Amino acid sequence: MHRKKSLSAAFSAALLSLTLLTGCGMLQSVPDSTSAVSDGSSATMLTDGADGTDGQTNAAGRTDISGTAEQTAEGTEASGSGAGAVTGTAGNGSGGGNSGGDGGAVTKRTNRTAGNGGTAGQQTVTESVTTAETKRKTPDDILSGMTLEQKVAQMMLVGITDAKTAQEAAADGVGALCMFALPYKNKTKAQVREMHAAIQKKAAVPMIISADEEGGKINRLSIYKNLRSAPFPTGRELFEAGGWTAVISGTKEKSALMRDLGLNVNLAPVCDVPLDSSNYIYDRCFSLDASDTAEYIGKVVTQMNKDGLGSVLKHFPGYGGSVDTHKNTGYDTRDYSAFTDGDFLPFKAGIAAGADAVMVSHNIVKCKDAVNPASLSPVWHEILRNELGFDGVIISDDLGMDAVTNFTGGKNPAVAAVQAGNDLVAFADYKASVPAIVKAVNEGTIPQSQIDASVLRILRWKQKLGLL
């Protein structure tokens, strides 16, 4: 009799202790900086760094149970179990019940009470859990939090000749940079990486940092021996030296160098098909044959996508035999069939291969618009969207070129470029362009919905590049 009373008293004390521990909330929760999973697997949580970069915290799944795991006495059986960073007091059945229930704190956002009883008894388990999970912002999330001025700034592709201007543009919220050769002069690879990192650190939204690394005459990086032993050759030179194997190998090497140095977009490849070898654009082109050029473009864009480097097809609708629009106004008088049967083929191949962007030339192509340069022509932008089915980012060629400034009489062409349908405006004077475009939106000249659509395309491109 005395032994039974002692057992009963001890069991009552144990129950009281369990009740007090549970009732006082002495259950550990997982700190907000980690993410725990109950199945014992590993979890990864991404957090946005203060400087616009992404950080990572890994929480390895584990079983970590503390408290009373099992209580049995006089026909009462209870057991508790947990997994994946679980801490707490196990379930306890009483009063002749057949079994107790699972217990412990399992990481969840909400606190809840769950009951699971035996035949003649009930058990109550309190789960007090916090799962902290910071999600990566989507392009739609970023867009919804932007002012009109911030959106328009994202539409600027600014030409850069020095690191200081690049950092200033980044701090001003510009969406993209076109790096010319001068910032890379006399720099080592490490210094170039540091320069690009410092630029990105200034940006609230990570930036597209691009350069024209076409090969041959147009290179910005590989002309410096500190960055490559010799300038990259053209696609035609690679093919003549080693066929498609050399073209693919050269594309991979170029992508690797640019990515390693902190660039994420190459303003290439060139889709133009010149009429003959005397044409201005010839030295930058793969072939005089549109079908051969289309095959080249398809292979290069496919490889660039594999390498994670953004691509830009240029110069729509096709340069043909036009003059240098950096210095002159170019006219193209060919029939539209010359484009549908020839010049469009490389662009179609690049689009089919997943090209990210298309750059539009300043040539006045009379068969569809006898007045406006293609870069400022809504007609040619509609053809690119509707006939060629391109839904990516459309970029104007540099609006500071003479073909445009002559056409506009020296006036800022940025508003006309957006009205035409460009998503990214390639123009160095963003400080004048942004307020001009904002004013046009506020006055109803440019629909707000058009701005939103353009910025969303740009942000989705950044997401594809791993910047968001």
> What number of other Cβ atoms are within 10 A of residue 5's Cβ?
9
β-pairing, 54-59 vs 43-48, is antiparallel
CB 247 within 8 A of CB 238: yes
* C-alpha angle 430-435-441 in degrees, rounded to nearest 5: 125
Tokens for 109, please give them: 């956002």
C-alpha span between 181 and 158 (Å, rounded): 14
Please confirm, yes or no, whether 39 is among the known catalytic residues.
no
Is the omega angle on the peptide bond into residue 274 within 30 degrees of 0, that is, cis? no
- The C-alpha angle with vertex 63 and arms to 58 and 64, in degrees rounded to 5, equals 100
The CA-to-CA distance between both ends of the chain, in Å, stands at 73
Strand partners, 70: 79
What distance in Å separates the CA atoms of residue 244 and residue 156, rounded to the nearest whole number? 36
Does 326 participate in catalysis according to the annotation?
yes
Sign of CA dihedral 412, 413, 419, 421: negative
Looking at residue 234, the DSSP 8-state letter turns out to be P
For the chain, give the number of residues. Answer: 468
Q: What gap in Å lies between CA 281 and CA 207, rounded to an integer?
A: 30
Catalytic residue (choose from 172, 212, 356, 397): 397
Helix (H) or strand (E) segment spanning residue 255: helix 235-261
Q: Which of 48, 283, 292, 326 is catalytic?
A: 326
The Cα 448–Cα 19 span in angstroms is 61
Q: Residue 229: which residues within 8 A CB-CB, separation 6 or more?
A: none
The whole-angstrom separation of Cα 36 and Cα 40 is 8
* Residues 212 and 267 sit within 8 Å (Cβ to Cβ): yes
Q: How far is CA 213 from CA 181, 325, 441, in A?
A: 10, 19, 35
Which residues are annotated as catalytic?
326, 397
